[in-house]
Amino acid sequence: MVYVTHPPIGNSNSMSRYGIVILLLVTVFAMVSCQENGAYEPLFRAGPPLPAFRAHSVALQSSFTRFRFDAAAAPQQWLDAYVKVLDDFDDPMKALGQFRFEIFRYRPQVADPRGPRFAEDGLQEFELTTLEGNQAHWDAITQSYQFRLALPEEAYELNDVVVEVTFRGHDDSRLGDFLILHRN
């Protein structure tokens, strides 16, 4: 008959010594394995700086851009155009540059709804290259630029027009968007 004897459950001093030795070995192993060729690798490497935030796209805000008129000064009509400039993270931003608006007749049921551009007031430009110009058009609530565009008299009776904006930045980049505008 074979008796298997177990070593006595050691005292707490011997167990704690083994625990400390194992903990030290694991710590040393972890430190050595994190190094490559004996050199410490930083989490972030020094290099060229990140590119500055820049205008990535522009968007005419369909919720706010609309036909307007003043009953007291009839028949004067205009368009309130709201343009949001977005950075690389699609966050609204302020930007220096030129905004160019073109107002076209609407052509329904075609791939490009822009018809002929109106001759009178069909092209309007705004220079926002100064602090004052930027502040004059910036709307903090909508985080976009607001422009009051003269509506061509030919468009007074039309229900639909196409508004196109082109933004030319200080680096000569061009960004654009267009919106089919319907009267309510």
CATH of the domain at 72: 2.60.40.1930
pLDDT digits (tens, 9 = 90+) for 109-158: 999 999 999 998 899 999 999 999 999 999 999 999 999 999 988 888 89
Give the domain range for residue 121: 57-182
Asked, for residue 144, whether it belongs to a domain, the answer is yes
Full-model pTM: 0.70
pLDDT digits (tens, 9 = 90+) for 27-80: 777 666 655 555 656 555 666 555 667 889 999 999 999 988 876 766 778 999
Asked, for residue 41, whether it belongs to a domain, the answer is no
Instruction: Report the C-alpha gap between 12 and 26 in whole angstroms.
Output: 21
Asked, for residue 73, whether it belongs to a domain, the answer is yes
Tell me how many domains the chain contains. Answer: 1
Long-range CB contacts (< 8 A, 24+ apart) of 174-181? Answer: 175/55, 175/56, 175/57, 175/58, 175/85, 176/58, 177/57, 177/58, 177/59, 177/60, 177/83, 178/60, 178/114, 179/60, 179/62, 179/65, 180/106, 180/113, 181/65, 181/66, 181/67, 181/79
Instruction: Report the C-alpha gap between 46 and 49 in whole angstroms.
Output: 8
Asked, for residue 24, whether it belongs to a domain, the answer is no
Name the β-bridge partners of 177: 165
Asked, for residue 141, whether it belongs to a domain, the answer is yes
Asked, for residue 39, whether it belongs to a domain, the answer is no
